[in-house]
Structure 1
Amino acid sequence: MDLSATGRYVRVLATARATAWGVSLWEFQVFGTAGTQAVPPGAVRVAEFLADCPYSHRLPDDPIVLPGLPGGSHMHSFFGNNATDAFSDLGRLETSGGTCNPVTDISSYWVPTLYADNVPVEPTGTTFYYLGEGVRDDVIANTQPLPRGLRIVAGNAKATGPDDNTISRWSCLHAGEVNPSHNFVNCPAGTMLESYLDFPQCWNGKDLDSADHKSHMAYPVGGACPATHPVPVPKLRQVLRYPVTGDPSRLRLASGPGYTMHGDFFNVWPAAEMERRVRDCINPIVKCGADGRP
């Protein structure tokens, strides 16, 4: 490989740090570099912070897609902010409490309710990961905080088949023999049904919402954000674990089959807390907990 002067300097610096820490250059490069900031030996090189937000309540409301229309939507299960309803806006949400750890996150998250034999089932594991993932390291280093009041919808509530919703997947906790699917899967006894949904992480830099609640956001292409949506923000990954196993034919979402899974997010993080987590966890590629610290 033909290294530039800058490249040779970086390699020499990396070699020196690796030697000082008693690890190989490969280990240092994989686990120990994030731009010019190094991660201590043993640390996991993942750009992440998270919020655990247990189930709050259930309503046939959707303040993003159907604002001001109580009962106008299919049934949704809400997490985080405990006051979310059809009339929720930023002002109403920021004066309410929530279920999240950390308590500083009073954002609202919601999904179509899951039914097993027509009985609603709520997840017992509800983790929302904020990630620097799917883009190059230099893009992660320039990731910006999610703007307060941002609204995002991910997934396809109107999907007519599994191929219409490729960003949502179902799997089984601790059951590696069951392949993930865009539709429900048959989880063996002793496991749990899991839902994973990734939200877009490229923002157009100006709109907190759009007419279809998606166009102001985009997914990265080729490790970077497209020119139409040039601002990288943390990727929200929604992970829900339901106490359900067995025959998936008895399962349905309020929106339809498993492949209609979708999620809504209304950002009400305090600006300073979001900024700190992006600065300390995402930009330097560091794995942080719910407190926003490594």
Structure 2
Amino acid sequence: MLFRHRRNPDHRRQRSLPPWRYRIAGLAAAALALSFLQANVGNAAAERAAAETAPKAAADVVRVAEFLAECPYTHRAPDDPIVFPGLPGASHMHSFFGNDTTHAGSDLASLERGRTSCAPETDLSSYWVPTLYDGDRAVEPTGTTFYYLGEGVSDDVIRRIQPLPKGLRIVAGNAKATGPQDNTIARWSCLHAGEVNPSQNFVNCPPGTMMESYLDFPQCWNGKDLDSADHKSHMAYPVAGNCPSTHPVPVPKLRQVLRYPVNGDPARFRLASGPGYTMHGDFFNVWPEAEMAQRVRDCINAIVKCGFDGKP
């Protein structure tokens, strides 16, 4: 007797997947593997780019402790509100830059209310020098840059430089010099004519060049006085890369660079104060305290070259 095997009604037939489904699964796995590979390659490329970019960014930051102001000529007057305050006409002729309201009676309050030719406009300071003459013709500089520097001192001193106090008055140079040896911090040179050696007196600049004046102001303050009887004793120059104990507070060094549109025989030239070696400059600080502090912190202390805006 034959018995027919019955299927369990709960049994479900096991079927194999159609070939096309295997192909789809294979393609999906390949795509997933490719995406992982691309991600890894992309990450590696990004890491390489970051590694290459970082040194370039660091290299782009110039390691010079500096910020600056460009302050064109504003006016001329026989006034000096530092040396002869309140005495109009008592001084030799001066050329003024920056604050265009400066006169013999100027003080901090009046200058703060003034206007400026400077870039940045936040610099309301006043700068002035004896007027240059070519024969009897007054000549004003067409380039007027005032650099604030952390140089002439060691790096550890640069990092301790303090902002110039508002209202500080500084006179640099020697208006009464009787010879070049009496004014070694001032020098004359020729723009784009390096073959002409700098000198304390006027120089003979070739045609097509300009005569320029450099003057460095003292950068060590006694920490107390905004001025002094001789207008110099409250400030000092560094010695061996440090400020002397009598003037322990390092501040930015002001370097005045003026470019005059003259050249040729220096015998034609004179300053209102006398020969070229009598070059001197006066500075009345009216920078807003926050602006000065930010530039000292971000440019001078950090030893970074900044522009007019106080940024690298």
TM-score (norm 1): 0.87
Which of these residues, 263, 266, 269, is aligned with residue 245 of structure 1? 263
User: Which residues of 2 match residues 250-269 of structure 1 at below 5 A?
Assistant: 250-269=268-287
Which residue of 2 is the match for residue 276 of structure 1?
A: 294
What is the DSSP-based 3-state SS (H/G/I as helix, E as strand, rest coil) of the residue aligned with 2:146?
Answer: strand
Deviation sequence 1:202-250 (CA, Å, 0-9, x none): 0000000000000000000010000000000000000000000000000
Tell me by how many angstroms 1:113 deviates. Answer: 0.1
User: Which residues of 2 match residues 17-96 of structure 1 at below 5 A?
Assistant: 40-96=58-114
Distance 1:177 1:40 in 2: 34
What is the DSSP-based 3-state SS (H/G/I as helix, E as strand, rest coil) of the residue aligned with 1:41?
Answer: helix
Determine if contact 1:152/1:214 at 8 Å carries over to the other structure. Answer: yes
Distance 2:96 2:183 in 1: 21
Distance 1:125 1:284 in 2: 28
Which of these residues, 145, 154, 157, is aligned with residue 163 of structure 2? 145
Alignment length, in residue pairs? 262
Which residue of 2 is the match for residue 292 of structure 1?
A: 310
Which residue of 1 is the match for residue 134 of structure 2?
A: 116
Deviation sequence 1:149-175 (CA, Å, 0-9, x none): 000000000000000000000000000
Which residue of 1 is the match for residue 190 of structure 2?
A: 172
Residue 128 (str. 1) matches residue 146 (str. 2): yes
What is the Cα-based RMSD across aligned positions, in Å? 1.4
The residue identity in structure 2 corresponding to 1:157 is A
What is the DSSP-based 3-state SS (H/G/I as helix, E as strand, rest coil) of the residue aligned with 1:282?
Answer: helix
Distance 1:183 1:245 in 2: 14
Distance 1:152 1:237 in 2: 12
Whichever of the two has the greater Rg, that structure is 2
Determine if contact 1:21/1:41 at 8 Å carries over to the other structure. Answer: no
Residue 163 (str. 1) matches residue 181 (str. 2): yes
What is the DSSP-based 3-state SS (H/G/I as helix, E as strand, rest coil) of the residue aligned with 2:297?
Answer: helix
Tell me by how many angstroms 1:22 deviates. Answer: 9.2
Q: Following superposition, which runs of at least 4 residues in structure 1 exceed 4 angstroms of deviation?
A: 20-23
Segments of 5+ residues of structure 1 without an aligned counterpart are 1-19, 33-38
Determine if contact 1:81/1:107 at 8 Å carries over to the other structure. Answer: yes
Distance change in 2, residues 1:21/1:164 (3 Å): farther
Distance 1:226 1:150 in 2: 19
TM-score (norm 2): 0.82
Distance 1:289 1:164 in 2: 34
Distance 2:62 2:311 in 1: 13
Distance change in 2, residues 1:282/1:21 (3 Å): farther
What is the DSSP-based 3-state SS (H/G/I as helix, E as strand, rest coil) of the residue aligned with 2:121?
Answer: coil
Residue 227 (str. 1) matches residue 206 (str. 2): no
Which residue of 1 is the match for residue 118 of structure 2?
A: 100
